[in-house]
C-alpha cells in the first residue's frame, strides 16, 4: 500500500515500499507496546484480587468514579480474568491490524487513531447500552483499527471484500451474551472516521486539513460525552 502519511514529508509526499524484511518490533513498536501493557495489566489482575474493580468502565454517569473518562481508558487495558480467550483474541487482532497499519500511518497517527477508537468504544457503550453495566477489553479500539483499515482499502481502491467479511463476522459475534457490542460499534465508527481523515489528507499540502479534521472529531467526541452523560443519574 505504501506509506500513507510519511513522518518526514516536507514539500512533497515520499512514497515508499513497505519493508517486509524489517523486524516486526521495529516496524510497529507502538503496537507491541500496547500489547505489552495489556498483558502486564492482565497478569496484575491475576495477582491482585479484585483489581478489575478499579479498572472497569460503567455507564452510570461521569460524576461517578466508575463512569469517569479515566475509566474509559483503564477499561481498554483490562480483560476478563475468567476467559483467557478474551485477551488472546484481542491481542492477536491488535497484532495483525497494528503490524499492518502502524508502518503505513506512522507512530503518532497510529496512537491518535487508537486513542480516538478507545473513546469511540466508551461512547458506544455509554450511549447504546440500554441498562447500566460495565465493560472491559481492548475490543473497542481493535474495532477502530478495523474501521480505519477498511476505509484505507476503499479510498485507495484496493480489494476490501475480505475486510468487510471479517468486520461483519465480528459484529455478529459481538451480539452473543456477555459481549459489549455497543463498544464494538462505537469503536468501529470512530475508527473509520479517523481513518478517513488520515487517508484523505495524506498529501503533505493537506496537513492543515488533517489537523482540522482531527480537532473536529475530538470536539464531536467531547460533545457526545457530555450529551451521553447528561441524562444519567448516579
> Taken in order 52, 87, 138, 175, is the CA torsion positive or negative?
negative
Catalytically active residues are: 139, 184
Residue 195 corresponds to which cell in the numbers above? 481513518
CB 30 within 8 A of CB 38: no
Q: How far is CA 121 from CA 72, 126, 162, 205, in A?
A: 8, 9, 23, 32
Which residues, listed in sequence order, are joined to residue 57 by a DSSP beta bridge?
A: 135
Cα-based angle 150, 152, 158 (whole degrees, multiple of 5): 85
Amino acid at each position: 500500500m505504501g506509506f500513507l502519511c510519511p513522518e518526514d514529508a516536507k514539500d512533497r509526499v515520499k512514497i515508499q515500499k513497505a519493508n517486509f524484511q524489517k523486524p516486526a518490533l521495529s516496524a510497529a513498536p507502538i503496537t507491541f507496546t500496547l500489547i505489552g501493557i495489556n498483558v502486564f495489566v492482565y497478569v496484575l489482575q491475576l495477582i491482585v484480587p479484585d483489581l478489575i474493580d478499579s479498572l472497569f468502565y460503567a455507564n452510570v454517569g461521569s460524576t461517578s468514579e466508575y463512569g469517569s473518562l479515566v475509566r474509559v481508558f483503564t477499561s481498554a487495558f483490562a480483560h476478563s480474568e475468567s476467559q483467557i480467550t478474551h485477551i488472546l483474541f484481542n491481542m492477536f487482532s491488535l497484532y495483525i491490524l497494528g503490524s499492518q497499519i502502524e508502518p503505513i500511518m506512522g507512530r503518532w497517527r497510529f496512537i491518535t487513531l487508537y486513542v480516538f477508537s478507545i473513546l469511540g468504544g466508551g461512547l458506544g457503550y455509554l450511549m447504546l447500552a440500554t441498562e447500566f453495566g460495565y465493560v472491559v477489553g481492548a475490543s473497542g479500539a481493535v474495532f477502530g483499527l478495523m474501521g480505519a483499515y477498511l476505509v484505507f482499502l476503499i479510498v485507495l481502491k484496493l480489494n476490501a471484500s475480505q475486510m468487510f467479511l471479517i468486520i461483519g463476522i465480528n459484529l455478529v459475534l459481538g451480539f452473543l451474551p456477555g459481549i459489549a457490542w455497543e463498544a464494538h460499534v462505537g469503536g468501529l465508527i470512530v475508527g473509520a472516521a479517523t481513518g478517513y481523515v488520515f487517508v484523505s489528507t495524506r498529501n503533505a499540502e493537506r496537513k492543515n486539513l488533517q489537523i482540522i479534521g482531527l480537532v473536529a472529531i475530538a470536539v464531536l467526541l467531547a460533545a457526545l460525552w457530555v450529551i451521553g452523560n447528561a441524562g444519567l443519574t448516579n
